[in-house]
């Protein structure tokens, strides 16, 4: 599979992953506004911190895709 196609699949999977995580965070913030319960605010912030820790970095992409040396060189250009 060409590098371009690998990156496209990885990006699509990442967007779906983040959307599934972001949905509950937004819901927690909405529930906090409606019910004024601080516990939902804390849960929402914890979810956002988790999203920050799983953000895509170059090292994570290289590790997840298991790219060959040629593909790594091509990606770094």
pLDDT of residue 1: 84
pLDDT of residue 49: 97
Per-residue pLDDT tens digits for 3-62: 899 999 999 999 999 999 999 999 999 999 999 899 999 999 999 999 999 998 988 988
Distance spanning both ends of the chain, measured CA to CA: 19
CA dihedral 50, 56, 60, 63 (to 10 degrees): 120
pLDDT of residue 33: 95
- Domain parsing of the chain, residue ranges: 8-76
Taking residues 62-66, report their average pLDDT: 89
Report the distance separating Cα 75 and Cα 12, nearest Å: 18
Per-residue pLDDT tens digits for 29-45: 999 999 989 999 999 99
């Amino acid at each position: 599979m060409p590098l371009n196609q690998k990156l496209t699949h990885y990006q699509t999977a990442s967007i779906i992953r983040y959307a599934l995580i972001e949905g509950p965070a937004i819901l927690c913030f909405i529930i906090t506004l409606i019910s004024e319960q601080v516990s939902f605010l804390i849960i929402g912030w914890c979810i956002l911190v988790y999203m920050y820790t799983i953000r895509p970095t170059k090292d994570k992409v290289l590790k997840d895709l298991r790219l060959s040396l040629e593909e790594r060189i091509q990606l770094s250009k």
